Structures are given as C-alpha cells and as structure tokens.
Amino acid sequence: MNPFPRARGRAFALQLLKLLRPHQWVKNGFVFVGLLFGDVSSDWGLRSSVLLAAAGFCLLSSCVYVLNDIFDREADRAHPLKRRRPLASATVSTIEALALAAACATVGLALGAAASAGVAAILVAYLLLNLAYSAGLKHVAILDVFIIAAGFMLRILAGTWGVGIAPSQWLLLCGLMLTIFLGFAKRRAELMVSEGDDPAGASQRPVLDEYSPVLLDTMMAISAAGVIVSYSLYTVSPDTVALHHTDKLIYTLPIVLYGIFRYIFLLHRRGGEDPASTLLTDAHMLVTGIAWLGVTLWLIR
C-alpha cells in the first residue's frame, strides 16, 4: 500500500517538503570547508566526492528532522509556532513521515557510500548521534549543545578526512568554537521564546529549565571569543600562509567580527530559534556571508 495518498496532490507534496526543511540544508555548507581551504583546486574527483557527501548530509539531516518531528509532535502542538508543522497539525501522518525518513536515510547513505566508505561511516555516526540526542540526551544541559556541535564537526570531517583532504587543526578548532557558539545561541533564543509573552514553548524543551540568561550569555561570550581567536590564529598560521601563498587572510577578520556581532544583535533584538533562517532572511548576514566568501576566494585562489 502506498503510504503517500495521491488524492492530496500538490498540497500534500508541499507538506512533505516542509517536513524536510530544505532551508536547513545551508548548515551542510560546513561540508565544503575542506574544498575552500584545502589545496585541491585541480582534483575534480575530490570535488565530486565532496558534493556527494554534502548531498548525503542534506538527506540525512532531513531524515533527522522528520524523526525529531515524530518524537516531538505532541510537544510541538503546545508551541506557538511549531504547532503549524505538518506532523503537529496532522496534515502528514506518522506512517507517511516514517516512510519519508526511511527514503531519505536510504538515499543519503547510498550517496555517502558513493563518495567513500569514510563518508558513509560518518553519516551513520551522525544518524546514531541524533537518535541518541532525540532519545534523551537533548535533556542534558551543556551536553545537548556539544552534541549539536558534534553534528557540525562530522560535516567538516566528511568533507575533509572522509574524502582524503587533511583538515587543518586550527580550522577544526575554529569550526568547533563556531558550532558551540551557535548551539548556545540557539538555546538562548529558545529561552527568550519560553520567557516571552506566549510561554507555551517552555514545555517544549525541559532542558531550558537548567539554563539561565546569564549562563547562556556567558557561554556565548566565551565561545564567540574562541571563534575570533582561533580564526585569527588560523589566518596567520605559517601552515596557512604556506598553503595559500598569502598572509592576507587576516583581512577577512573584520567581516567575521561583524557577522558574529550582527548575529548576537539579531538574537537579542528579534529573537528567533533558527540560525539558518536568520542567515537566509537578514540582508546584513547575507551580505556578510557573501563578502567573506568572495574576499576569501580572491585571496587564496
């Protein structure tokens, strides 16, 4: 029996697409870090492998989002915004969602295997990590944020170690600090929502009871400082200078600083629980990201 009834047609397909959250695929840009900062300009085989790894992560991350929505559908119905999600609003059934998740996982793992056995192994680790997160680790303060960061680090490793590109230790450190910063920022935004005019989302994440605004602001400040310091040291590292034949990458630091400060400003001024939406909907963040990428490519290519 086909789990996707045809009668609902286009509207149903749009609900399935919404369940996949394709706007979140921007997070899989971390897979391309190795291509951007590695010396692989003439290796088209590596580029193809990285593209396959990124595609695999897009589908696996969508699978995880679907599974999370299945686990959280009852709590989502009490949330001021999440109650509109397909499962919470009952426009997609649990069986249909499970079929969609299975399809995404199957194709995503196949794409990862086509890239390399290492990428496939990383994708499996990513899936298991997120299942453990959804099963209960998301309720453990601090560890929950580190698991979120680990998911991003696996993306970086898939696009470097997984395809045979040696990752820079400074770059891995910078990626770790950035993803921890984004994790604590996400919790800070969720806490703001739970303490706002409509606190219905407070029951959404019991772990928020373990956090306070002062604690999260402190964690964000520490991790943001870590991002700035590690990125600065990476740009002036002798290995970086030798690899890219330039000592000018330090000139991209003001762009990075502006991006971090703008993100913190938006967090406190506008709220919002979704870093991907913030990046894609704020003109300043979009221009900052494009400027950083453009200047970086100009300096190292």
Residues 116-159: pLDDT tens digits? 999 999 999 999 999 999 888 988 999 999 999 999 999 999 99
Query: In whole angstroms, what is the distance from residue 196 CA to residue 212 CA?
Result: 14
Residue 182 shares a structural domain with residue 157: no
Residue 129 shares a structural domain with residue 193: no
Q: Which residue has the higher pLDDT, 127 or 4?
A: 127
Q: Which residue has the higher pLDDT, 107 or 85?
A: 107
Range of the domain at 57: 8-167
* Contact status, residue 115 vs residue 145, Cβ threshold 8 Å: no
Among 108, 142, 167, the domain-final residue is 167
Q: Which two tokens stand for residue 34?
A: 């190795």
Q: Which residue has the higher pLDDT, 275 or 217?
A: 217
Q: Of 181, 4, 206, which Cα lies nearest the Cα of 97?
A: 4
Q: Of 28, 39, 37, 50, which Cα lies nearest the Cα of 296?
A: 37
- Is residue 107 situated within a structural domain? yes
Look at residue 201 in the predicted model and tell me its pLDDT. Answer: 47
End-to-end CA distance of the chain: 53
Residue 156 shares a structural domain with residue 58: yes
Q: Which residue has the higher pLDDT, 4 or 175?
A: 175
Residues 6+ apart with CB under 8 A from 47: 35, 40
Q: Which two tokens stand for residue 80?
A: 């001021």
**84 has a pLDDT exceeding 70:** yes
Number of domains into which the chain is organized: 2
Contacts from 128-133 at CB under 8 Å and sequence distance 24+? Answer: 129/154, 130/64, 130/67, 130/68, 131/67
Among 121, 140, 167, the domain-final residue is 167
Least confident of 71-80, 211-220, 241-250: 71-80
Q: What percent of the chain has pLDDT over 90?
A: 51
Query: In whole angstroms, what is the distance from residue 108 CA to residue 190 CA?
Result: 30
Q: What percent of the chain has pLDDT over 70?
A: 89
Residues 6+ apart with CB under 8 A from 11: none
Residue 12 shares a structural domain with residue 106: yes
Query: In whole angstroms, what is the distance from residue 196 CA to residue 215 CA?
Result: 18
Residues 6+ apart with CB under 8 A from 112: 52, 53, 56, 57, 60, 119, 120, 122, 123, 158
On average, the pLDDT of the chain sits at 86
CATH of the domain at 85: 1.10.357.140
* Contact status, residue 134 vs residue 68, Cβ threshold 8 Å: yes
Look at residue 60 in the predicted model and tell me its pLDDT. Answer: 95
The 10s digit of each residue's pLDDT in 27-67 is 899 999 888 887 665 667 888 999 999 999 999 999 999 98
Look at residue 44 in the predicted model and tell me its pLDDT. Answer: 76
**68 has a pLDDT exceeding 90:** no
Look at residue 200 in the predicted model and tell me its pLDDT. Answer: 47
Mean pLDDT of 229-243: 91
Q: Return the number of other C-beta atoms located less than 10 Å from residue 244's C-beta.
A: 18
- Is residue 3 situated within a structural domain? no
Look at residue 193 in the predicted model and tell me its pLDDT. Answer: 76
Among 137, 167, 197, the domain-final residue is 167
Look at residue 7 in the predicted model and tell me its pLDDT. Answer: 45
**203 has a pLDDT exceeding 60:** no
Q: Return the number of other C-beta atoms located less than 10 Å from residue 83's C-beta.
A: 15
